[in-house]
Every structure is written in structure tokens, then in C-alpha cells.
Amino acid sequence: MLDLVELGPSAGLNLVWDRYRYRYGHAGWGAENAPLELHGELRHPFPPELLEVPVEVRRRRGIDLNPIDVTTVEGARLLECFVWADQTERIQRLRLAMEAVRADPPELIEGDYVDVLPGVLAERDPGALTVVFQTASLGYVPEERLEQLFHGIQQAGRDGPLAFLNTSFDPEMTGAFPLELTVWPDGETRRVSHMDFHGAWLEWLL
């Protein structure tokens, strides 16, 4: 059982990740009738049993300075404006993802997540694993605010089940992110994979 909290979710498209289907190489995960399939190159395989783990998401929340409501015509059009008009395949993926969000929208909280996250984590349910995650927003947060954010997450990890999934920055890598996972109570951080900025390829490390 998972409770999700995304940092900088914009419209919350990544908060419904379990409603999509994924295909990397010959490996696939997700419902066959999912509204959207995302696929890419698998550079190093992951354990087959990983795809057999059932996932149940109970709650979805995101914290953003300016969340976008794609259940409205205005919100959907605004999000589409961020895609170049000649990138028709990307626009189609976006529209399918927005349909998945509209089916049951996540809760989007307006605010600075450095300030808001401690309160959100303080009210979490110990009966589920709360997973805090982000993809690219931390690159826009000042260093002193990052320290405050990480300190707050570490403190919360001592109080109950918590995981932090984070695309970090590695100066030795170009065109790619390392994906790192920290799980409490032990607080150990493991590098799970390397991946293209937009998911075009995945290299599993564990």
C-alpha cells in the first residue's frame, strides 16, 4: 500500500504512473488496456520478479507553486503550450496522460514544497508506505533550501514508514539522470538506475 507525495508535480501526470503501461525491451508492466504506453531502450535488464510485484496506490498528493488543473479546458491548453507544435507524438502522449489524470485527479496542493512538505508528512498514515518523489524540480531550488528540505525528510523518516525517490545530479553523466532511492528506518540510499532525461532508455543497476 503506497501513499504518494510528488514535489513539483505541475498537473500531476506522474502521480498516476500506475495507470500507464511501460515497455522496455521485452519487459512490460501495467494494464494491457492502459490509456498510454511508454516505451524505451533497456540497456541493462532488471530482475523479472520485479515486474510481478503488485502495486496499490491509496492516496496521491502533489505540492507545486503553480499547479495546473487539466480537468479544465484552460489547464489542458496551458500544458499543451509547453510542447513544440511539431512534436505531434509528444502532444499525443500528453493528451492521453491528461485523460488518465481526469479519470480520478490527484490532490494538488499550492505552495512551496520546502515549507509545506513537513506538514503533509506529519499527518501521514503509518499503515502505508509514504513515497516522496520528484523528477527535475530540485534543480531550481537554492542550496540552502535543499538542505532544509532534505533535513525535513530525514526527520520524518525517523517517525514512520517513508521512502524518497529522487533523480539526482551527477556531474560525470551527460544527458542522463541517476535514480536514487532512500528508505527508512535505516535511511540507506541506493542508486537504482541510470536513465535518459525523458525516459528514452533505462539502465538498471541493482
Report pLDDT digits (tens) over 139-177: 899 999 999 999 999 999 998 899 999 998 888 888 899
Report pLDDT digits (tens) over 50-90: 889 889 999 999 999 999 999 999 999 999 999 999 999 99
CA distance 170 to 4: 25
CA distance 132 to 121: 9
Going by pLDDT thresholds of 50, 70 and 90, the confidence category of residue 179 is: very high
Contact indicator for 184, 163 with CB cutoff of 8 Å: yes
CA distance 174 to 176: 5
CA distance 28 to 31: 9
The domain spans of the chain are 2-68+105-204
pTM above 0.85, yes or no: yes
